[in-house]
């Protein structure tokens, strides 16, 4: 993904941010609120939003708790959305209430409509809070050319981004695990971010994950939050005691009849370094190579290095998706073009799971939590 493409991908979100700033300036002037306060607020919003971005936060992480900054960054986006709605309502009312003829009924109707328009973001936010745990089971058939016979119909279950803590409990995870077990998978995968901070109940999360069932085992990779919490070694060792294997730059051959899968797992891949360094040493020629990578942005590199399938998470499906002027806006689009669902490059496929939990604000809009059942299919079937 080139420099120009990355900027084109981020353009809708950048336009939204710019529109939010313009709306804030307009509303402050419209209601004659101190412009000094407006400037101070804009500077604070810009700083907080920047701190919440992973590429910036890397340099200030020792100064701020990761979860708090993400809460504020997501809150700034919601604030700008609200300001946009308020500006639209104010402009609409200004034009209609300035008519020379006074009509009480018409004025009351316009006021009620504007109030409803301004209340819409709050209603959507409340709905997103109340429905954030309503997971769906997505069944996906991924087709591969010349897929070995004994791999055809293989059932893979994937869960991701649990973020167990104050907003996602052990009981919530138990409910999801129960649904995953009903799918009777051959392999089960957990693609990172079990918790958000080092204070979250990692042991409780692992105990629930130990109840996940698949005939050929439970496997996983670690996410950026295990990295930030510095619990990667602990998670790997504790999970192994529970018969869960997190692969950290490691390959594991799995046999199904006369066919094999070469399963590879890597730690969270950061943009500050080249993706998938030295991973080619883990690839086995002439077998089905499957990569577990929390960050989906590695997909083009994984495809070039010989992986037939990559399973990822990290994006939460955007978590909060805002339809504005025909575009779908979310923070994840700033980081990767691979936000949710399946993607293909040449003979390679990627599936990005939307995860179970939340980060920042406990809200999901347009990105329900999911458990994924992937069936491997041959193109001829």
Three-state secondary structure readout of 237-281: HHHHHCCEEECCCEEEEEEECCEEEEEEECCCCCCCCCCCCCHHH
Mean pLDDT, residues 108-127: 54
Q: Which of 44-53, 82-91, 110-119 shows the lowest per-residue confidence on average (mean pLDDT)?
A: 110-119
- Close Cβ partners of 346 (under 8 Å, ≥ 6 residues apart): 303
Least confident residue range of 36-45, 159-168, 269-278: 36-45
CA distances from 361 to 67, 68, 166, 343 (A): 9, 10, 11, 28
For range 305-320, the mean pLDDT: 93
Least confident span in 147-151, 274-278, 359-363: 359-363
Q: How far apart are CA 49 and CA 167, in angstroms?
A: 22
The residue ranking higher by pLDDT, 95 or 219, is 219
At the topology level, CATH places domain 136-378 in: Purple Acid Phosphatase; chain A, domain 2 (3.60.21)
Integer CA distances (angstroms), 89 to 15, 260, 301, in order: 19, 60, 46
Q: Does 133 score more than 90 pLDDT?
A: no
* Whole-angstrom distance, CA of residue 38 vs CA of residue 19: 15
pLDDT digits (tens, 9 = 90+) for 15-64: 666 666 777 677 667 667 677 876 777 776 676 666 555 455 555 555 55
Q: Across all residues in the chain, what is the average pLDDT?
A: 80
* DSSP tag of 89: H
User: Given a cut of 60, is residue 66 above it in pLDDT?
Assistant: no
The pTM of this model reads 0.74
Q: Is the per-residue pLDDT at 194 higher than 70?
A: yes
Q: What is the pLDDT of residue 67?
A: 43
Cα 309 to Cα 140: distance, rounded to the nearest angstrom? 13
Closest CA to 135 of 318, 373, 369, 374: 369
- Mean local confidence (pLDDT), 221-241: 95
Query: 213 vs 125, which has greater pLDDT?
Result: 213
CA 174 to chain CA mean position, Å: 21
Residues of each domain in the chain carrying CATH 3.60.21.10 = 136-378
Residue 206 in tokens: 């692992």
Residue 77: per-residue pLDDT: 57
Alpha-carbon distance of 357 to 205, in angstroms, equals 12
What tokens appear for 30 in the block?
A: 């419209």
Residue 121 pLDDT greater than 60, yes or no: no
Q: Is the pLDDT of residue 265 over 60?
A: yes
If one counts every other C-beta atom within 10 angstroms of the C-beta of residue 176, the result is 22
The predicted structure's pLDDT at residue 360: 73
Could you tell me which residue, 14 or 119, shows the higher pLDDT? 14
């Amino acid at each position: 993904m080139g420099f120009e493409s990355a900027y084109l991908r981020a353009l809708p979100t950048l336009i939204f941010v710019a529109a939010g700033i313009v709306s804030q300036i307009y509303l402050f002037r419209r209601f004659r609120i101190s412009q000094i306060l407006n400037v101070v607020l804009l500077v604070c919003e810009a700083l907080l939003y920047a701190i919440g971005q992973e590429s910036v936060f890397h340099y200030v992480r020792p100064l701020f708790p990761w979860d708090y900054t993400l809460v504020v960054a997501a809150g700034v986006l919601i604030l700008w959305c609200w300001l946009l709605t308020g500006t639209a309502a104010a402009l609409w009312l200004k034009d209609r209430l300035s008519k020379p003829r006074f009509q009480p009924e018409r004025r009351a109707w316009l006021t009620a409509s504007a109030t409803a328009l301004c209340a819409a973001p709050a209603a959507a936010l409340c709905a997103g809070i109340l429905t954030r745990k309503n997971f769906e089971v997505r069944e996906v058939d991924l087709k591969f050319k010349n897929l070995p016979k004994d791999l055809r119909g293989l059932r893979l279950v994937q869960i991701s981004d649990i973020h167990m803590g104050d907003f996602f409990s052990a009981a919530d995870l138990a409910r999801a695990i129960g649904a995953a077990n009903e799918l009777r998978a051959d392999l089960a995968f957990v693609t990172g971010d079990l918790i958000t901070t080092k204070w979250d109940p990692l042991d409780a999360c692992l105990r629930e994950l130990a109840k996940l069932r698949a005939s050929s085992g439970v496997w996983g990779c670690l996410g950026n939050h295990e990295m930030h919490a510095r619990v990667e070694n602990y998670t790997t060792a504790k999970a192994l005691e529970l018969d869960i294997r997190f692969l950290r730059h490691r390959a594991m051959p799995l046999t199904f009849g006369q066919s094999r899968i070469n399963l590879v797992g890597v730690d969270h891949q950061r943009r500050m370094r080249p993706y998938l360094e030295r991973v080619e040493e883990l690839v086995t020629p002439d077998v089905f190579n499957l990569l577990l990578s929390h960050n989906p942005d590695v997909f083009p590199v994984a495809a070039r290095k010989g992986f037939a399938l990559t399973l990822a998470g990290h994006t939460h499906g955007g978590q909060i998706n805002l339809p504005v002027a025909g575009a779908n806006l979310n923070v994840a689009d700033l980081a990767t073009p691979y936000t949710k669902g399946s993607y293909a490059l040449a003979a390679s496929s990627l599936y990005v799971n939307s995860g179970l939990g939340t980060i920042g604000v406990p809200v999901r809009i347009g990105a329900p939590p999911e458990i994924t059942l992937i069936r491997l299919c041959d193109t001829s079937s």
